[in-house]
A and B are shown apart, each in its own frame.
Chain A
Amino acid sequence: MKRKLFCALLLPLLLACNPQPDIDDATMLDGTQINDLSVYEPEKYLVSLATPYPTEQEKNTPVLIAAHGYSATTFEWDELREFADRDGSFRVSQVLLGGHGRDFADFKASRWQDWQSAICDEYRRLRKAGYKHISLAGSSTGAPLIVQLFTNGFFDINGAPDEIFLIDPIVVSSNKLLVFVNILGPVLGYTTTDLDEGEKGRWYVYRPQESLRQLMALINLTRRDLEKGITLTPGTRLKIYKSEIDLTADPVSAVLLHKGLRTATGAKVDVEMIPSSLHVYTRLRGRDHFTPEDVDFQQGTFQEMSERIKL
């Protein structure tokens, strides 16, 4: 009797485990019909493919590798690329993180190291082509992916970058339920995100529990590494920009990065708290609502990034 009762209780739980989302292929990035545009025309997004054999002048032109956040696409950095095109002093290489911008199955199967590999691949290609001044920008999850490259010796092998920009980096999630993802994840299967109209087809709607677990593993590892201390490569500078109110990446993430990161000379890294309530305030396109002040914050940050890269 006890065994029957146990089975009766366990069966609904097992049936509820790992449910599959209802994906609309025609409208959702999660489906198989819509991919990020960089999948079709990577040379329009990656400097290493657009100019694989740079001239001496092009080699000396700074290149900024821009890494987007979790579940996003290259769309997140379109406005910076347009700013750089107008500015003319640096070029932007928009990488599409591994497992992103394709479909739900790819996202589900990818590990955070796969997400990171797209950044590494572009950095290596640029170095191999002879580009001398490479900087990196990471928004949200893009930030810990870049920070991890300082802990695993990637830049010691491939040369030090000039500037690092971390925009609304995530080390601590604002939604603290993420810490239970290893326990609740197999039951939930996935979570759903509400997207603004202009974001549809450019962000994944469904977040498989496997990828959420990867996200938690990445930010937890980064937090612990920051507690021990992370030293940048010689000659590399870093600045953190963080919205003071952020319902995705907790603002305390900026504090942890500021405490845990040091330049090669032992100096503190730069940090600026932005009086904004947007997550990744540098991306305004596709949002239903933003204010004139948000435009000022975005343009001010782009301008400062440009000035730091030129130095």
Chain B
Amino acid sequence: MKHFLFFILLFSTQLMAFEPADRTSTDTVRTEITTATPAAVVTRLNLPARSKVTNSSVISPYLIVQKTFALYWEGGVGVDYTHQKLADERLHFSADYLSSRLGSAWGSNALKQDYFSAGVHWHSWQHSSLRWVNGLKGSYFTVDYEDDEFNNLPSSTILVAFETGMLYTTSLLDVKMLFGVHFFSGNGSTIPGSVFPVYSQLSVLLPIRLNDR
């Protein structure tokens, strides 16, 4: 009997030891159980396991300088975005504003022209400090002729360009050099004449890594 009572006491003590101290502890146990199932699904999709370290996005504001071949220098700003879910940060989306006002037209008679662009780029050699970048960029282009006599000339258009180049990443900054080719350029009738076919761009990016909660 003594032994039986001692067993009961010991069992109760053990139960108390494993008894959740409060509601929070109970939730923790439940959370572990519920996350177990999605983790299995994620594994079957062959996507990286979730963790606070890897599940993050990178936003990179950048300064950009463009030289159109046989035409103007142009300057501007933009922002690049990628995420761990975007093919392990290989796929990048960007938006930028570029203008000759921040280049050749600064204090000169060059045409004042602006580009509002959105791009999508694929970064190869992801784990190297030197990456190969390819992509497409669409732009709304507009130019100011500054005189009513030229009202009948085309002053805006949609541009599509293929871009290729390299990105060099350091611990602080990324430096990107791209060469671009417009699918359509000025033709003397429907597209503004200051759209030239080939350009090069130098961008300096400041990557900011944001961890998901």
> Using a CB–CB distance below 8 Å, which chain A residues touch chain B?
172, 174-177, 179-180, 216, 220, 226-229, 244-256, 258-260, 271-273, 275, 277
Measured CA separation A277–B189 after assembly (Å): 9
Can you list 17 A-B pairs with a CB-CB distance of less than 8 A? A172-B193, A176-B186, A176-B196, A179-B198, A216-B70, A226-B109, A227-B104, A227-B109, A227-B110, A229-B109, A244-B152, A250-B188, A255-B150, A256-B111, A260-B109, A271-B149, A277-B189
CB distance from A27 to the nearest CB of B (A): 29
Measured CA separation A12–B152 after assembly (Å): 47
Q: Are A179 and B153 in contact (CB under 8 A)?
A: no
Q: Tell me the number of A-to-B contacts counted with CB atoms below 8 Å.
A: 84
* Residues of A with C-beta under 8 A to B145: 255
Given known pairs A179-B70, A246-B188, A252-B186, the reply for A259 and B111 (CB within 8 Å) is yes
Given known pairs A176-B185, A246-B188, A248-B188, the reply for A253 and B150 (CB within 8 Å) is no
Q: Are A172 and B109 in contact (CB under 8 A)?
A: no
Measured CA separation A175–B188 after assembly (Å): 8
Measured CA separation A176–B108 after assembly (Å): 23
* Residues of B with C-beta under 8 A to A175: 187-188
Given known contacts A179-B69, A228-B108, A251-B193, what 6 new A-B pairs fall within 8 Å (CB)? A176-B185, A176-B187, A179-B196, A179-B197, A247-B187, A277-B189
B8-51: CB near A (< 8 Å → 1, else 0) gives 00000000000000000000000000000000000000000000
* Residues of B with C-beta under 8 A to A228: 108-109
Name B72's closest neighbour in chain A (CB-CB).
A227
Q: Are B109 and A254 in contact (CB under 8 A)?
A: no
Measured CA separation A255–B185 after assembly (Å): 17
CB distance from B110 to the nearest CB of A (A): 5
Q: Are B194 and A252 in contact (CB under 8 A)?
A: yes
CB distance from A141 to the nearest CB of B (A): 15
Q: Are A247 and B70 in contact (CB under 8 A)?
A: no
B178-193: CB near A (< 8 Å → 1, else 0) gives 0000000111110011
Question: Across chains A and B, which 9 residue pairs bring their CB atoms closest together, nearest first?
Answer: A252-B193, A174-B188, A250-B193, A179-B70, A259-B109, A260-B109, A227-B108, A176-B185, A245-B189
> Using a CB–CB distance below 8 Å, which chain B residues touch chain A?
69-70, 104, 108-111, 145-147, 149-150, 152-153, 185-189, 192-198
Of A228, A250, A272, most B-chain CB atoms within 10 Å:
A250
Measured CA separation A228–B110 after assembly (Å): 8
Q: Are A245 and B146 in contact (CB under 8 A)?
A: no
Q: Are B193 and A271 in contact (CB under 8 A)?
A: no
CB distance from A243 to the nearest CB of B (A): 9
CB distance from B191 to the nearest CB of A (A): 10
CB distance from B194 to the nearest CB of A (A): 5
CB distance from B151 to the nearest CB of A (A): 9
* Residues of A with C-beta under 8 A to B109: 226-229, 256, 259-260
Among B147, B152, B153, B186, point to the contact of A174 (Cβ < 8 A). Answer: B186
* Residues of A with C-beta under 8 A to B111: 252, 255-256, 259
Of A179, A216, A275, most B-chain CB atoms within 10 Å:
A179
CB distance from A276 to the nearest CB of B (A): 11
CB distance from A279 to the nearest CB of B (A): 9
Q: Are A272 and B193 in contact (CB under 8 A)?
A: no
Of A174, A229, A272, most B-chain CB atoms within 10 Å:
A174
Measured CA separation A216–B70 after assembly (Å): 9
Measured CA separation A121–B74 after assembly (Å): 41
Measured CA separation A244–B196 after assembly (Å): 19
Measured CA separation A94–B62 after assembly (Å): 56
Measured CA separation A247–B109 after assembly (Å): 24
